[in-house]
Amino acid sequence: VIVRLVIGLGVAAFVSLAGARAGALSGSGALAAIAVGTAVILGTSWPGAVVLGVFFVSSSALSRLGRPTGIAAKGSQRDAPQVLANGGVAALGGLAGLWFDGLLALALVAGALGAAAADTWATEVGSRSRTPPRLLIAWRVTAPGTSGGVTALGSLAALAGALLLGVCSSLLALLRFDAPAAGALAIGVTVGGVCGSFVDTLTGELLQERRYCPDCRQATEALVHRCGTPTLRTGGLPHLDNDAVNVLCTLTGALAAGLILILSR
């Protein structure tokens, strides 16, 4: 375990610092990413590390492609709360491998990251949709970037993101465990990712806190608007912000993948 801790810390630090240099992570974001990476590798060894790498590289690449100018926008740099909101559940799932079996830990990690990937892909690819997004329940056209808004393109991208993590973790399970394990992860992680992204959309529309800048008369999710004015809450549950929604999203993905694995055995 000590050897794995040292290796995990080294690999996580190397990747996180590379991510920070590439502009994908802020300083605090890199520290949080080191903690998440170490926890995942500690409990799931190299399969978890590969899954984490696939998620991190594909999401960062999509975030950069998503900017029309090609320059990393300020918003694409993830800070510590964002990293923990997307990776915290995966870190806990990875640590489960220290007490339970490594296959269950891999399912929890990949399920959480499958949901995070589905959500990230839907946001980045969906922002290029030519048809405007609609709120899933109210089915009314809304401004691009609004939580709870869906487009056909974004939904396809969510499925693709979940599928990528499902196929990837399935191949790893085939190498490390056996064929039934690979089948269970292919289905569990893909279904978990789609369910997580669905929960993300639903809570984003129905429960997430909505705020408003009285100066600019604009809807926003920020506590302080970019103009510097503190914003007012106009609806939703207090403190249920985008980070909290992402925790619910990844938790759904992890639990669904873990449950499908347990039921399949």
Least distance CB 143 / Zn ion (angstroms): 15
Q: How far is CA 216 from the centre of its chain?
A: 31
Give min distance, CB of 234 to Zn ion, in A.
Answer: 14
Return phi, psi of residue 111, to 5°.
-65, -45
Q: In angstroms, give the least distance from the CB of 144 to Zn ion.
A: 18
User: C-alpha distances in angstroms, 174 versus 47, 122, 164, 166?
Assistant: 10, 28, 15, 12
Rank residues 180 and 235 by Cβ distance to Zn ion and give the closer one: 235
Nearer Cβ to Zn ion, position 191 or 213? 213
Minimum Å gap between C-beta 212 and Zn ion is: 9
Which residue, 27 or 145, has its beta carbon nearer to Zn ion? Answer: 145
Q: 233: left (phi > 0), else alpha (psi -120 to 50), else beta? A: beta
189 or 213: CB nearest Zn ion: 213
Give the nearest distance from C-beta 225 to Zn ion in angstroms. Answer: 3
- In sign, the C-alpha dihedral spanning 22, 27, 31, 36 is negative
**Residue closer to Zn ion, measured from CB, 137 or 224:** 224
Task: Kindly tell me which of 106 and 213 has the beta carbon lying closer to Zn ion.
Answer: 213
Measured CA to CA, the distance from residue 128 to residue 138 in angstroms comes to 22
Dihedral sign from CA coordinates of 164, 167, 169, 175: negative
| Residue 215 Cβ vs Zn ion, minimum distance, rounded to whole Å | 4
Which of these, 161, 160, 256, lies nearest to 199 by C-alpha position? 256
Kindly state the smallest distance separating residue 227's Cβ from Zn ion, in Å: 3
Could you tell me the sign of the dihedral formed by the alpha carbons of 62, 65, 66, 72, in that order? positive
Binding site for Zn ion (CB under 5 A): 213, 215-216, 225, 227, 229
Q: Are 25 and 19 in contact (CB under 8 A)?
A: yes
Identity of the residue, 128 or 225, whose beta carbon is nearer to Zn ion in the bound complex: 225
CA–CA distance from 108 to each of 60, 80, 90, 171 (Å)?
22, 21, 7, 16
